[in-house]
């Protein structure tokens, strides 16, 4: 499309925002854009529409159809309200709304509360910022039909987002996700009921926090370890986000008495002034926490992302140097600890299960199955873990997670839970210390027991229409011209989640993958135990590659050797696939 045509489309859409249905400040901003000879801002703000996807909205804040503002949030909420009223026509209906520390998050949450209430739906609105898992818990605890959290997780400060949840406390899954999208698409600005009904809005405060934290404490499996090691030195940073009060409160509630928060990062701030990226997956985000940990000679350092669902862990290695665990390692520790302690406490009665995403390490499945625990594989995203719990029941669920620093140890929330995860990890640190071990040595012990696993993720960015076509072509090439061997190791199994077929490349035999929905993901399993997963990102112009190399350790002293060998193997796989 010619640039002049793009400008015409953007201008025509912008002119509609001069209507008096929009507030004066918005109209003035639109007028300024229309009068500006540089049309870049106009095009970026109006040419596209910010789409309500399967997870909700996420985008840069500002005026326009392609921006997060009260009108795009309003249309999403009106459409969601319409769907809830359609699904539950003769029932009392309620929703829960929470928000993070970002700019406009409170404004957007109050806007949503007013719209839901104007549509006859009772609203439970948190008094101030709260972590995502508490909002998920509140939906179930208060018997709501759905919920919304205003957050863009660890995106840059210019972004905000709107995540929609269903009555079980999880993000929308089929058929509700597509059905809500259809309702949102029908909404015009004149349809949005902005005038709230105050008596339909209930504010949730500290009393509800206590209810949530007491539920989190029920996950404790070793209270005696905490009693003995209550003065374990713990450093925590909320990275300016929602867990600045609740994680320290939860740790105190479990019995820990020596908690040190990073003071500069314990101030909620949507500008995230002390970090380039408020993401515990990024080593740089841990700098201030590790500086404090070294200063006080801490036992454990932890971080949560701004909306409090992800958890990052740093531990000391055998040389006393601080090292960051990746999301797979954190999941491995949680899985082994929960199973081992539940066995020792005689709490495993049969039928227990754990859940992991398909790109998460296969070692989780090995640990589970060797302990007679069922392990389910699901697509990326905790809504799919919640979907298994919905079908299998929460009573036998003993935890689930994904490689991208998320873990959910209890079924009372249906999203990854940084508050529960930090508390449980602190307990594990106390439990190993009581045995004169460290978290690092415990991880090596798990590897020696079940086998070693090294993981890595890389991505390739391809922007624009041509980039999207290139990513599609890469997926098709891998799909239809699967390499017979990679790094001199035969490809023995291919899983294609778009056709839902698993193909044994040695025999040609095909079997059906037991997934209800399709996804553009490919996996290759090699004879040497390596696993390669390929998928386009659903939210960014990226194609992601996940690598896993497996090995056996002779004993715990063999750790460094097998780790070096596994990393060399991943390097060789990446080179062979010509990805770098």
Q: Which residues are catalytic?
A: 153
**What six digits make up the tokens of 308?**
């409090």
How far is CA 295 from each of CA 37, 229, 254, rounded to the nearest angstrom?
A: 55, 20, 25
CB atoms within 10 A of CB 349: 9
User: 417, 309 in Cβ contact below 8 A?
Assistant: yes
Tokens 């959290």: give the residue. Answer: 149
**Block residue for tokens 């609105």:** 125
- Contact residues for 270 (Cβ-Cβ < 8 A; gap 6+): 101, 102, 103, 105, 157, 240
Strand runs labelled E in 391-451: 397-402, 406-408
Q: Where are the beta strands (DSSP E) in 322-415?
A: 322-324, 353-357, 374-378, 397-402, 406-408
Residue labelled with tokens 């999203």: 415
Per DSSP bridges, beta strands 234-237 and 300-304 are parallel
Q: Is 271 exposed, middle or buried (0-12, 13-18, 19+ CB in 10 A)?
A: exposed
Residue 209 and residue 127: Cα distance in Å, rounded? 11
DSSP 61-93: BSSSTTSBSHHHHHHHHHHHHHHHHHHSTTS--
* CA separation for the pair 375, 366 (Å, rounded): 9
């Amino acid at each position: 499309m010619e640039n002049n045509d793009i400008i015409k489309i953007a201008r025509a859409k912008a002119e509609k925002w001069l209507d008096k249905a929009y507030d004066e400040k918005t109209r003035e901003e639109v007028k300024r854009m229309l009068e500006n000879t540089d049309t870049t801002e106009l095009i970026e703000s109006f040419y596209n529409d910010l789409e309500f996807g399967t997870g909700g909205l996420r985008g840069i804040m500002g005026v326009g159809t392609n921006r997060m503002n009260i009108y795009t949030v309003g249309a999403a909420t009106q459409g969601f309200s319409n769907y809830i009223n359609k699904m539950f026509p003769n029932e009392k209906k309620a929703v829960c709304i929470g928000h993070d520390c970002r700019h406009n998050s409170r404004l957007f949450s109050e806007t949503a509360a007013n719209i839901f209430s104007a549509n006859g739906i009772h609203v439970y609105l948190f008094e101030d910022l709260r972590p995502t898992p508490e909002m998920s818990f509140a939906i179930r605890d208060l018997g709501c039909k759905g919920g919304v959290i205003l957050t863009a997780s660890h995106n840059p400060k210019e972004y905000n987002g709107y995540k929609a949840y269903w009555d079980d406390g999880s993000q929308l899954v089929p058929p509700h996700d597509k059905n809500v999208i259809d309702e949102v698409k029908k909404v015009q600005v004149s349809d949005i009921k902005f005038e709230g009904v105050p008596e339909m809005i209930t504010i949730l405060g500290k009393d509800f926090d206590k209810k949530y934290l007491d539920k989190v404490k029920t996950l404790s499996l070793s209270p005696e370890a905490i009693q003995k090691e209550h003065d374990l030195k713990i450093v925590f940073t909320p990275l300016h986000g929602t867990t600045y009060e609740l994680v320290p409160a939860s740790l105190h509630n479990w019995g820990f008495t020596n908690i040190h928060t990073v003071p500069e990062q314990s101030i909620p701030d949507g500008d995230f002034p002390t970090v380039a990226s408020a993401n515990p997956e990024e080593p740089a985000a841990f700098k201030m926490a590790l500086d404090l940990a070294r200063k006080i000679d801490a036992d454990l350092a932890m971080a949560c992302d701004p909306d409090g669902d992800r958890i990052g862990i740093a531990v000391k290695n055998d040389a006393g140097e601080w090292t960051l665990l990746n999301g797979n390692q954190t999941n491995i520790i949680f899985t082994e600890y929960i199973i081992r302690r539940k066995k020792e406490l005689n709490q495993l009665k049969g039928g227990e299960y754990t859940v992991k995403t398909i790109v998460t390490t296969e070692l989780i499945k090995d640990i589970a199955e060797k302990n007679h625990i069922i392990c389910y594989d699901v697509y990326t995203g905790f809504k799919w873990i919640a979907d298994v719990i919905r079908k299998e029941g929460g009573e036998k669920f003993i935890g689930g997670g994904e490689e991208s620093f998320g873990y959910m140890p209890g079924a009372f929330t249906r999203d990854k839970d940084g508050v529960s995860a930090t508390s449980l990890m602190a307990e594990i640190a106390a439990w190993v210390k009581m045995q004169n071990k460290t978290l690092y040595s415990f991880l090596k012990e798990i590897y020696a027991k079940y086998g070693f696993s090294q993981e890595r993720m890389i991505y390739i960015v391809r922007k624009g229409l041509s980039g999207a076509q290139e990513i599609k072509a890469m997926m098709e090439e891998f799909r239809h011209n699967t390499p017979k061997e990679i790094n001199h190791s035969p490809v023995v199994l291919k899983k294609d989640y778009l056709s839902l077929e698993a193909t044994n490349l040695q025999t040609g035999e095909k079997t059906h993958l037991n997934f209800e929905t399709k996804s553009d993901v490919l996996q290759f399993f090699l004879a040497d135990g390596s696993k390669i997963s390929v998928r386009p990102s659903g939210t960014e112009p990226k194609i992601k590659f996940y690598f896993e190399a497996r090995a056996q350790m002779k004993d715990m002293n063999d750790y460094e050797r097998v780790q070096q060998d596994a990393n060399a193997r991943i390097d060789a796989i990446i080179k062979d696939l010509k990805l770098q």
